[in-house]
Structure 1
Amino acid sequence: MTKRKNLSRLLKCYLLITVASFLYGIGTAIFSDPNNIAPGGFTGVAIVLNRIVPFGTGAWFLILNIPILVLGTWKFGWHFICSTLYATGMISFFTDFIARYGKAFIVHDMVLASVFGGLMAGVSMAIIFQQGATSGGSDIIIKLLRLKYPHIKTGGLLFITDIFVIFFATLVIKDIPASLYAFITVFINGIALDKVLYGSDEAKLLFIISDRHASITRRLLKELDLGVTHVYGQGAFSGKDKKVIMCVVRMRISPQAQEIVKEEDPEAFMIITSATEIYGEGYKSYFDDKI
């Protein structure tokens, strides 16, 4: 049963990588490449090199990734390298295949190309990252940087590296409008990536101080099925002991939790702050290997 379960998980992983690679190929071959939009990363470098030596954007993407994949093997192991190698190969294949046989679907509107090119790339990269792989290239470099700077989100790091690629593309292709649209592509790419990769984990952290802590706690547990923790504190001025309610609430039910507090005690002292990543039961596992 365990072997069958592992095989099923592996097949699902590679199926999702295949679908994501196809979406990535569409974003590059239909939207970005035909409009000289070099959207950062190794994809952007491959688009530029293909203008210098017409060898196929997908082929250049694969060539550029070879030394980086070797580095990834040394640092992250064989599971990572096999899935990343597969993703890189599929992206290379789909990009050149769609560029050759999908010319009738090419979008020449620069606004649509920049928006949907970034959206396709961001969503597909997030799906690949969720499978414990990357799309190669700068993604592996970013995974290395995340080991040293885990507090910085992937989308932010991608944006920084992509800026350098856009400047490089501007110098080679000499298409200023396309370079400006590339910034839009990169921006949307980063937003889409972070939303898919982290969005479901974004939540609010509530600290509630109230004399009616028992009724508030009871309703939070019963009506919203939240995990609630009591933290014992003491008022510095009054010297009175207080029970502080602490709970994490997903974004979509945060207004309901706040309403419960207001209904039970309009005088309650409530602090609400953002919780961008949460590990534990009901949220992410400590063993999830996101980039």
Structure 2
Amino acid sequence: MRKELGKMVIVVIGSLLLASSLNFFLIPADVFASGFTGISQLLSYIVPLSTGVLLLLLNIPVAILGWLKVGKSFTIYSFMSVVLTAIFLEVIPVYAFSQDIMLNAVFGGVIGAAGAGLLLKWGASSGGLDIIVLVLARYSDRPVGSFFFILNSIIVVASGLLLDPEKALFTLISIYVTSRFIDTIHTRYVKLTAMIVTKNADKLNKAIHERLTRGITRIPAKGGYTFDEKEMLVIVITRYELYDLKNIVEEVDPAAFTNIVETANIFGLFRKD
């Protein structure tokens, strides 16, 4: 209960940061965010609906997809973040702290990334593209970075056509700052490899299989100092499952040694269902 309450607090804080980055920096400067948030900003110039309402509407079908293909807990907290962000966007007034478009692009990107990074670190997301990428990561071994690139390229080009080329350049700066800052807070890779050295391999193996749909390779290991017999569990996960894996290890074997390695690519059997 304490962990769930803490997670809810993080969702509120992350959503508040996302909304603040938009209403205090990006929207006043006509600079666009990345992902579904940027798409919502663009659509608000075309249809008579606010960015918050459009963000919520766009995420409803994505939430249904996440519920069916990803998992209930992750989808619930992610959609909760979307709802809270939409509410904060409507409640918080649009106010420009600076008239300098560069400052707005940079600070908007950093504050938005802080919110998104917090959500990822605690097993949730800002919805939208994160859920779509998670589904693609589970059902395809192809690099998913291209999907981020394509969508963000559309946002940059559309902002240049809808407003002016200068806005497109500053949108590109904001998106770059956001991606780099999220990399610093969380991880840039979608897939990660966890190597867990434990004395309770059977219990840990069972707990991971109950909560994560991932294959595990077990390798005999021996302590170099104590010479205790142990096992190393090797498991490839997505970055969205890192929070759950960490909690599982802490609950089953707090003394286990875990090393997380960023995985650029994988070949062969990778369980996706």
TM range (shorter): 0.5 to 0.7
Q: Quote the residue 2:107 is aligned against.
A: 116
Q: Quote the residue 2:159 is aligned against.
A: 169
Aligned pair partner of 1:178 in 163, 167, 170: 167
Query: SS at the partner of 1:34?
Result: coil
Answer whether contact 2:133 2:144 (CA < 8 A) is retained.
Answer: no
Instruction: Please list the CA deviations of residues 227-262 of structure 1 after superposition, one character each: whole Å capped at 9, or x if unmatched.
Output: 9979xxxxxxxxxxxxxxxxxxxxxxxxxxxxxxxx
Deviates more, 1:145-154 or 1:133-142: 145-154
Q: Quote the residue 1:281 is aligned against.
A: 257
Report the AA paired with residue 174 of structure 1: L
Gapped regions of structure 2 (runs ≥ 5): 189-221, 226-241, 247-255, 262-273
Query: SS at the partner of 1:198?
Result: coil
Query: SS at the partner of 1:37?
Result: coil
> Deviation of residue 55 (structure 1)?
1.9
Instruction: Please list the CA deviations of residues 5-38 of structure 1 after superposition, one character each: whole Å capped at 9, or x if unmatched.
Output: xx00000001011101111111111111111111
Output aligned runs, 1:112-151, within 5 Å.
112-148=103-139
Gapped regions of structure 1 (runs ≥ 5): 1-6, 200-226, 231-276, 286-291
Q: Quote the residue 2:51 is aligned against.
A: 57
Aligned pair partner of 1:80 in 68, 74, 79: 74
Q: Which has the larger radius of gyration?
A: 1
Q: 2: distance between equivalents of 1:121 and 1:175?
A: 23
> Deviation of residue 133 (structure 1)?
1.5
> Deviation of residue 97 (structure 1)?
1.6
> Deviation of residue 145 (structure 1)?
2.9
Q: 2: distance between equivalents of 1:150 and 1:228?
A: 35
Answer whether contact 1:153 1:194 (CA < 8 A) is retained.
Answer: no
Identity %: 25
Structure 1 residue ranges (4+ consecutive) displaced by more than 6 angstroms after TM superposition: 227-230
Instruction: Please list the CA deviations of residues 109-161 of structure 1 after superposition, one character each: whole Å capped at 9, or x if unmatched.
Output: 1111110111112121111112222111112122223335679687x864453
Answer whether contact 1:159 1:187 (CA < 8 A) is retained.
Answer: no
Aligned pair partner of 1:26 in 6, 20, 24: 20
Change over 3 Å in CA distance of 1:150–1:9 after alignment to 2: farther
Q: 1: distance between equivalents of 2:32 and 2:111?
A: 14
Task: Give the total of aligned pairs.
Answer: 201
Query: SS at the partner of 1:136?
Result: coil
RMSD after superposition? 3.0
Query: SS at the partner of 2:68?
Result: helix
Query: SS at the partner of 1:52?
Result: coil
Answer whether contact 1:40 1:164 (CA < 8 A) is retained.
Answer: no
The TM-score with structure 1 as length reference comes to: 0.62
Q: 2: distance between equivalents of 1:190 and 1:8?
A: 31
Change over 3 Å in CA distance of 1:150–1:228 after alignment to 2: farther
Q: Quote the residue 1:206 is aligned against.
A: none
Answer whether contact 2:160 2:166 (CA < 8 A) is retained.
Answer: no
Q: Quote the residue 1:42 is aligned against.
A: 36
Output aligned runs, 1:204-215, within 5 Å.
none
Report the AA paired with residue 281 of structure 1: F
Residues 1:8 and 2:2 are matched in the alignment: yes
Change over 3 Å in CA distance of 1:11–1:77 after alignment to 2: same
Report the AA paired with residue 184 of structure 2: K
Output aligned runs, 1:204-283, within 5 Å.
281-283=257-259
Answer whether contact 2:110 2:178 (CA < 8 A) is retained.
Answer: yes
